[in-house]
Amino acid sequence: MYVSAQVPYAADRFKYIGQVGSELTLAEGRDAAVVTARNVLSQIHAARGDIVRLRLQALNYFGAEREIDSAEAAEVFQAMPGANARLLARLTELWKVEAATLGATVWALYNALTHWSSHDPVRLASVPNRAAIVLGREERVRAALQRPAFRRLIT
């Protein structure tokens, strides 16, 4: 989802290009004036409802609300390519935080993995390579989600 403001593309003309939810909106000239903050906010609110609905469908479909224990979570973490003691400790810490909020479920496990992949800090010296590091982490999570340790939890 992205929202773009009106931008001048000629001295007296404005153009709006934006997407909220699944609809792309393109308006030029006078039509761009119709795209107001209120319209955009209502579209964002509707898209938010879609996201919640899709999340609930995923939870039901994949059995994400199934309760698991710490040993099952640890087995998934250990199945991750390149797992080491430091990574296992960090993932376990994230799992505990998610489990405290969401309950000890497959969804909390998934959230812990994706939090680590995209939000966990990188070393200061590695900041210029952050995008590549995040991409590598996401690949490792994808691989872990395809391994038997995780597949057993959702079938």
Q: Determine the pLDDT at residue 34.
A: 54
| Domain of 53, in residue numbers | 7-62
**Nearest 10 degrees: CA dihedral of 60, 61, 64, 69?**
110
Domain shared by 79 and 129, yes or no: yes
Regarding whether 41 and 78 lie in a shared domain, the answer is no
Residue ranges for the chain with pLDDT beneath 70: 1-41, 43-45, 47-49, 51-52, 55-62
Q: What is the pLDDT of residue 6?
A: 43
Classify residue 2: in a domain, yes or no.
Answer: no
Q: How far apart are CA 23 and CA 85, in angstroms?
A: 45
Residues 82, 17 share a domain: no
Residue 41's Cβ-side half-sphere holds a number of Cα atoms within 13 Å equal to: 3
In a domain, 107, yes or no: yes
112 Cβ contact partners less than 8 Å away, ≥ 6 residues apart: 73, 91, 94, 95, 97, 98
- What tens digit of pLDDT does each residue of 21-43 get? 555 555 555 555 555 555 666 76
1 touches 21 (CB < 8 A): yes
pLDDT at 75: 97
> 112: closest CA among 91, 129, 82?
91
Put simply, whether the predicted model's pTM sits higher than 0.75 gets the answer: no
Query: Are residues 149 and 77 both part of a single domain?
Result: yes
Q: For position 100, what pLDDT does the model report?
A: 94
One domain for residues 95 and 55: no
Specify the pLDDT at position 96: 96
Check if the beta carbon of residue 123 is closer than 8 Å to that of residue 106.
no
Same domain flag for 150 and 81: yes
User: Do 11 and 83 share a domain, yes or no?
Assistant: no
How many structural domains is the chain composed of?
Answer: 2
